[in-house]
Amino acid sequence: MIDRDHSLSISRQAQLVGISRGSVYYKSRAVDTVDLDLMRHIDELHLEHPFMGARMLRDQLNRKGFVVDRKHVSTLMKRMGVEALYKKPNTSKKHPGHKIYPYLLRNLAIDEANQVWALDTTYIPMAKGFAYLTAVVDWASRKVLASKVAITLESCHAVDVLQEAFAHHGRPEIVNTDQGSQFTADEFVQAVKNNGCKLSMDGRGAWRDNVIVERLWKSVKYERVYLYAYDSVTEARKSIMQYMDWYNKSRPHSSLARKTPEEAYVEILPMIEMAI
């Protein structure tokens, strides 16, 4: 990804792919087993109570017997890419050069496949570490169009799954994401725009703006991830990809009239696309 012999400086290459210059030289260190246990519990609590911030999570962890303060909980949340989900004033300082795009889905009737795609990334606990899962989901049918398990939150992984979805499923009108740095990075924004799509971003901390993916994460974790203690990223990737295939083809949804996402996707695909 980073070419040290390229004419562009290391700093400029890092900026273009949406990572900090420091991360280019970063060497990963083993995560303390106590922190891994804390992160697993934070993930479970966040999934059930997404409104909980560092203070409330600290209180819940203390009640479970963990001796941890709010500052450490906040540090772990940042490492996991977890944020309390509730409406609040957007007073945080934006990343220099990273534009935040308006939310385009409010009051929009979404009833066709490939009308709106949603992207998000979630934390995946393992026996001795963790990874991140990024997925592209068709909003109307809930079909997972592409997904990837990686060890970082860099924008290149979001671009990879988006390009995979483009290659196999065409182009949507709108791509919706949250305001995570991997989605506001130039590399990702250009991947969306270069394919003729509009970019929509959730309000900061507004979980309902991307509720389709939030529901997918709950299914993935309770029906697959939490049932296993993955020993490696390779094992986690294989297991989760198997689940995604089953989810698309064999898991009916009440909101889809008991159809599977695959069945719903084909049924509501615009006729012009079906004819191509």
Residues 127 and 261 in one domain: yes
Q: What is the pLDDT of residue 27?
A: 47
Number of structural domains found in the chain: 2
Q: What is the pLDDT of residue 99?
A: 86
Residues 67 and 202 in one domain: no
Give the Å distances, CA to CA, from 273 to 148, 179, 197, 267: 26, 30, 16, 12
| Domain enclosing residue 167, as ranges | 116-275
Residues 254 and 208 in one domain: yes
Single out the residue in 80, 100, 132 at which a domain terminates: 80
Strand partners, 134: 121, 148
Closest CA to 56 of 40, 45, 65: 45
98-102, 147-151, 205-209, 252-256: range with lowest mean pLDDT: 205-209
Question: N- to C-terminal Cα distance for the chain?
Answer: 35
Q: What is the pLDDT of residue 32?
A: 83
Residue 77 has pLDDT above 50, yes or no: yes
Single out the residue in 61, 80, 99 at which a domain terminates: 80
